[in-house]
Amino acid sequence: MEYKKELERLISDLKTNYLPSVSMDLVIFGFHDGQLKVLLLRWKETDDWCLPGGRIRHEENLETAAYRSLRERTGLSELFLQQFHTFGDVIRYKNYSREETLTKLGLPDEALKEFASRDVSVGYYALVEFAGVTPTPDFFAAECRWWDINQIPLLLFDHNDMITLALKTLRRQLSYQPIGYNLLPDKFTMPDLQQLYETILGQPLDRRNFQKRMLGYGILERLDERKTGGAHKAPYLYRFSKEKYEKALADEILFVG
Amino acid sequence: MEYKKELERLISDLKTNYLPSVSMDLVIFGFHDGQLKVLLLRWKETDDWCLPGGRIRHEENLETAAYRSLRERTGLSELFLQQFHTFGDVIRYKNYSREETLTKLGLPDEALKEFASRDVSVGYYALVEFAGVTPTPDFFAAECRWWDINQIPLLLFDHNDMITLALKTLRRQLSYQPIGYNLLPDKFTMPDLQQLYETILGQPLDRRNFQKRMLGYGILERLDERKTGGAHKAPYLYRFSKEKYEKALADEILFVG
């Protein structure tokens, strides 16, 4: 009864306050200690998982709406958030047919008309240090948790495709923009940074080439400190030069003929 | 009178057959002989220019709709077309206020309600050899022609921003994907290819590094022919290996640690 009332309230809110035909889906990558995960929601009373998403209020910019949705799911507001692709196929049911999907969702007809009509969905991805996140389910979800990138189940809608493309775009981004701010502690070693890159790329990198490339960007400051508590030859500590990091983000590292 | 009738027909068609709240804008870059241009439309009975655009039919995938719109404006169907960003600010009037814009558009109230309501717009760019294109205005436009990339006027809506971001994305793309197929003749010289890159990047490139990089991609076949009619030391002719080119497009050239 409580559920039905809340659902009615949501439908009415949706009809009044949100843009029709457009939605957002969020691929929230979590990095922690050499692992890369994705935040997924489990639909109530099912074993089916999907990406968190959201809709855009009439008075709200698209990007503001994406940040709002992200904050609602993670509790974080200062995040690296990036639009990567807009998904607009008429049929966006992949692993299950439309009928199967609607049965799984278990919504009354009126809700289906609103929530299961055709949407063009704008995909965003974020990259967070997942130790600092409190995953929070939305009204339709029973559970919200991190899944290892290599163990994603069959998802509802076209959400597996979305994760694949988001990861491809994130990996591509490493070749023209710096990454790491907000993901590593203030002071970190070159091996820490290399581990971040290797985790995202899913493959090992050559230590010397990596170091040369990173130092070449001019975004790192080497401190007069070494990591303590380690074995012999403790590695130097570095930190990002915020100003140069921001500049590299904006300028990008383009084609070098 | 003819205009009014046609407008009424368009509005009715729009209401019935197209998704609300979503549109597309197309940044069509034209390359020819060292020049880079953009296709713009002049709004009827004004001196104001804007990008060509389109809307999405209910039964049509987003990408299909983008290809259809592109074909309608250029007569070309086999084009390199790439989604680059979705623009979703509530206020998308930049160089002119909403009021000024609506006055310029000169549409009756009923049309304004349909055509000037808030849209989230998906931006696509294309790159074509402009010698092969017949620019074709749509119903609202008096004229459709190429503008040099360095001489774009103040445009309606947020279309200057769209061109800036499309060009940034196209330039970025050169660092991870090959380009040139459909833009150069079947057989071309290394200087031809270099000119294409320089024109897009808007800056000169080092000849030796460029050649080394391009050959390193493994997408070019050197022919046993040299360009005829030139001076001494006529340059070799090359062609793209279609298969390897397609593979490089799909694989991308990613971060090399």
Bigger pLDDT: A78 vs A252 = A252
Hey, what amino acid is at A234?
A
Rounded average pLDDT over A222-247: 85
Q: In this complex, is the C-beta atom of A83 within 8 Å of any C-beta atom belonging to chain B?
A: yes
Measured between beta carbons, the chain B residues lying within 8 angstroms of A176 are 172, 175-176
* Cβ(A152)–Cβ(A96) below 8 Å: no
> What is the CATH class of A188-251?
mainly alpha
DSSP string over A231-254: SSSPPEEEEE-HHHHHHHHHH---
Helix (H, G, I), strand (E, B) or coil at B178: coil
Q: Which of A136, A130, A160 is nearest to A71 (CA)?
A: A136
Q: In this complex, is the C-beta atom of B176 within 8 Å of any C-beta atom belonging to chain A?
A: yes
Residue among B60, B171, B254 whose CB faces A254 most closely: B171
In tens, the pLDDT along A135-159 reads 888 888 899 999 999 999 999 999 9
Cα(A208)–Cα(A190) distance, integer angstroms: 10
B109 has a pLDDT exceeding 80: no
How distant is the Cα of B87 from the closest Cα of chain A, in angstroms? 8
Residue among B19, B62, B118 whose CB faces A89 most closely: B62
Cα(A107)–Cα(A140) distance, integer angstroms: 10
In tens, the pLDDT along A63-89 reads 999 999 988 888 877 677 899 999 999
Token pair in block for residue A153: 């189940």
Which pLDDT score is estimated for A231? 60
How distant is the Cα of A205 from the closest Cα of chain B, in angstroms? 5
Measured between beta carbons, the chain A residues lying within 8 angstroms of B254 are 171-172, 174-175, 201
Cα(A62)–Cα(A59) distance, integer angstroms: 10
**Domain extents in chain A:** 2-173, 188-251
Which pLDDT score is estimated for A173? 87
Q: In this complex, is the C-beta atom of B63 within 8 Å of any C-beta atom belonging to chain A?
A: yes
Bigger pLDDT: A230 vs B50 = B50
Residue whose pair of structure tokens reads 């870059």 in the numeric block: B29
Instruction: Inspect the interface and report whether the beta carbons of B120 and A174 lie closer than 8 Å.
Output: no
Instruction: Inspect the interface and report whether the beta carbons of A209 and B257 lie closer than 8 Å.
Output: yes
Cα(A82)–Cα(A127) distance, integer angstroms: 9
Q: In this complex, is the C-beta atom of B197 within 8 Å of any C-beta atom belonging to chain A?
A: yes
CATH architecture label of A2-173: Alpha-Beta Complex (3.90)
Mean pLDDT of chain B: 88
Rounded average pLDDT over B106-110: 75
Which chain B residues in 207-226 lie under 8 Å from chain A, judged by CB atoms?
209-210, 213
